[in-house]
Amino acid sequence: MVIDIDTFEETPEQELGDLSNPEKVLEFLLSNDDKAFKAAEIADETGIPQNSIATVLGRLEDRGLVRHKAAYWAIGEPERIASFGQYHRVTERLNARFGTEDREAWREHAARTQSTDEDE
């Protein structure tokens, strides 16, 4: 799969082989930003299973990162993609500096906070 030069330059070597399905879709659509594709074509090009691609595309659309018209999908508006890229780079730097967040710890904290709010 083709990646853009910014991703190449800024991504640590060990992470380049481990792109998530949404990242694979975004990379593919960014490298083909002058075209729109059917979901099955995106799945074939990215190696994402056919039964997963609709969910991936739907989540990306909810975030404004891809556009959808009839059976076709294309990369989202450039401003939105740029803001996502900046967010991703900042998150990566924070994770490198302070470590990644423990998702389970966040869930436990949220549950405790919710029960405290309900008790008041």
How many Cα atoms within 13 Å fall on the side-chain side of residue 107? 3
Domain 5-119 CATH assignment equals 1.10.150.120: no
Digit-coded pLDDT (tens) for 52-91: 999 999 999 998 889 999 999 999 887 777 776 666 666 6
Is residue 45 within 8 Å of residue 37, measured between CB atoms?
Answer: yes
**DSSP H stretches of helix in the chain:** 5-10, 13-16, 21-31, 39-46, 50-62, 78-98, 103-119
Residue 24: alpha-carbon gap to chain centroid = 8
- pTM > 0.85: yes or no: no
